[in-house]
Structure 1
Amino acid sequence: MAGPRRITDKNEFLPDWLRDLTPNGSTRRSLAGKPYYRTWRKAVLSVFDNDEYWGTRVEISLPLPPHVNAELHAICERIMADKERVCGATDGETSADSYYSKMMMALFGRAVYDQIVDKWGSSDPKSVKAAEAFGEIYGNKLLALTWKASTVDLTAALKRMRDVFAGADADQARLLEKWAEDTFRAIFSVIVSGTAARQEVFARCDHALHHLVEFEKHEWPMADGLHRPTFKELFAFLPRVSTLLGHYPLVKDGANQGCSTCNEEHARHAGQQHSLAHSPHSPFVPQARTNTARQMRWF
C-alpha cells in the first residue's frame, strides 16, 4: 500500500502541474537545470510546505475529502489556465533564459513583473532574489484559491464585526459567538464555490462592518437621532446570512441615507421585485389567468 504523500511530493500534484508550465523537449530539460528555475520552483513549493494545513501529509489510501478534491481541482485549474497564457507568450521560444523571462511576465503581467525585477533582481529576472520573489508570490496566489485561505479571511471578517461589541457581557458574547458560528457554517460552502462568490461575500462583510461601526458610534440615522444603540439594537444590525449572500439589501433601511452602495443595492432589489411581479411564473400573478392568456394565443 502506498504511503502518505503531500501536495509537494515529487511527481505528485503541484510539482507535476508546475511542469506543465514549461515546454516539451530539450528546452524543458535545459530550463529544469537552470538555478533560477529551480529556485523559483522551490519557492512555490515552499509556500505549501510551510503552510500549517498543506504541510501535513494526506493518506493516499483513504478517499480524499470532497473539499480537498475541490481545492486540488482549483489549483490545477488555475495552473492550466496560466499554461495557456504562457504558451501564447512563449510560442516558438527555444532559449531557456528567454522562456523563463517570458513565462514570469505571462504569469504576473508586465507591471508586476517589472516591480519584482526592479526591487529584487537588479533588472535581472533570473537573479536568486527575483526568482524567490516570483515563486513566493505565485505560490501564495495558488494557496489563496484553497478553502484554508477563505476560512481565515471569513473568520477574520466575522471577528471584526464581533469586535464592535467591545462591552458585551458573557451572555451577549455567547450570542455573538453563536451568530459567527452559524454564519460561518452557512456561508462556507459559498465562499469555496468560486472566486467571484468569495469576493462578493467578503466585499459585503466589509460594507456591513463599515455601517455597523457607524451605527455603534450613532453616526447612522436613528429614530430619535440621539441615543447610543443598545446591544439588542446593535445586534439586530449585524448582517444575516441572507443579506451577506445578496438575497436582500445589506441594510434594511439603507436607501437614501448617504451611501451610494446601499442606494444602488436597494434600486437593484426593487427592480428585481418589479420583474418578479410581472413574470408569468410570479406568485403575484394568478396561475389561472396566466393559463387563460396562454390558451388565448392559439385563437
Structure 2
Amino acid sequence: MLHHEETGTGTPIVFLHGNPSSSHSWRHVLPHVGGGRLLAPDLIGMGRSPKPDIAYTFADHADHLGRWFDALGLDDVVLVGHDWGGALAFDWAARHPDRVRGLAFFETIVKPMAWTDLSPQAAERSRRIRTPGAGEDMVLTQDLFIRQAFTGGVRTPVAEADLAAYLAPFPTPESRRPVLAWARQLPLGGDPAELVTRIEAYDGWLAASDRTPKLLMTFEGSPTLLIGEEMARWCAKHIAALDVVACGEAGHHAQEDRPKEIAAEISSWLDRHGLRQRGREW
C-alpha cells in the first residue's frame, strides 16, 4: 500500500509527484488550494512507500497506484500531476473515465517525444543515463540525479532541510534503483515501445474527453522545462476542454519555485468549473 499524506474533506483531489520526488513536493501547494479531500501519495519505491523487488516500469507504477485508488475507494476524483505523476494521471483517467471529474497538470509527458524535443543539455544527460555503466554511476553511485534535480532543476536551490527530505528515501545505491528506472523510461525516439503505446492511448482520451475539464500550467525562464511554447501549443490543439495559464518563471520542479501560483491557479480552476461540488451531473 502506498504511503500518502491527506487533509480536508469533500471531493478527492489527488496530487501525483514525479521523479526523483515524493509527496514532500506538494508541501507548499496543498495549504493554499482550499476545500476538498487533498491526498498526496508517494509512488511505489519513493518517499515513504515500500520498495519491493520489481522493475519499476511505468506499468508497475500504474498497477500500484491503481490499487491505492481502489483501496481508498476513490471516485469522482480530480487529478493533479507533475512529471511522471502527470503521465500516471493521464493513464489512470483514460482507463477509468467514469471516475475522473477533472485533471490539472504541468511539466509532464503529454506525448511521445523526439530527442529534438529536449534541450541539448537534457538530451546529453538522458543519453548518459541510458548508457549501461554511466547511468548507474550517475544515479546510483554518485547520487547526482536527485541532488541536481533540486539544485539545477529549480530557479532557486531548495533549502538544505528540504534537500535532505528528498534524499532521505534513497540512502544507498540499491535504494535509488526506482529513480534510475524512471529516468531511463523517458519516451524518446519510440523507446520504450510499450510505454509509447500507453501514451498514445491516453492521448486519444485527452483529445476526446470534452466533458472533463483540464488545466495546463506553463512556466518560462529555464532550460530544464519539459513544456515550452511549442509543447503548450500542441496541448492546446490536441487536448479537449483545456484551460492554459502561465504561472511565471520556474524550473522543471516548479512546485519549489511557484507553489502559491500553482495553488492559486488550481483553486481558481476548481471553482470556475464547479469541481469541488459533490453530486454534480456529468
TM-score (norm 1): 0.24
Larger C-alpha radius of gyration, 1 or 2?
1
Greater share of helix: 1
The structure showing larger relative contact order (alpha-carbon pairs under 8 Å, at least 6 residues apart) is 2
Normalised by the length of structure 2, the TM-score is 0.25
